[in-house]
């Protein structure tokens, strides 16, 4: 793999354009997006497999 291939940015959802995650020298995760915004995006776009078969929870995707 050449350096040119390493610099190529992945295709992402337009809502996450510009999102970057880095780990600093202290092991802290630094993100260009606030955690609340990321969680809101994930709740809206990703199904929680653990909650899929629960009858006592309403479907959150249809309530948005």
CA atoms within 13 Å, Cβ hemisphere of 7: 3
Cα first-last separation, the chain: 43
Task: Show me where the domains of the chain are located.
Answer: 18-49
Please say if the pLDDT value at position 64 is more than 70. Answer: no
Split at pLDDT 50, 70, 90, the class of 51 is confident
**Mean pLDDT computed over 6-24:** 84
For residue 36, the model assigns a pLDDT of: 93
* 1 CB-side CA count, 13 A: 4
What's the token pair of residue 19? 């999102």
Beta carbons of 45 and 13 less than 8 angstroms apart: yes
**pLDDT tens across 16-44, in order?**
888 889 999 999 999 998 999 999 999 89
Q: What's the sign of the alpha-carbon dihedral 33, 35, 23, 48?
A: negative
pTM of the complete model: 0.56
């Amino acid at each position: 793999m050449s350096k040119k291939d390493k610099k190529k940015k992945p295709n992402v959802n337009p809502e996450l354009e510009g999102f970057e995650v880095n780990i600093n020298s202290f092991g802290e995760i630094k993100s260009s997006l606030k955690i609340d915004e990321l969680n809101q995006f994930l709740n809206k776009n990703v199904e929680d497999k653990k909650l899929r078969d629960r009858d006592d929870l309403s479907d959150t995707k249809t309530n948005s």
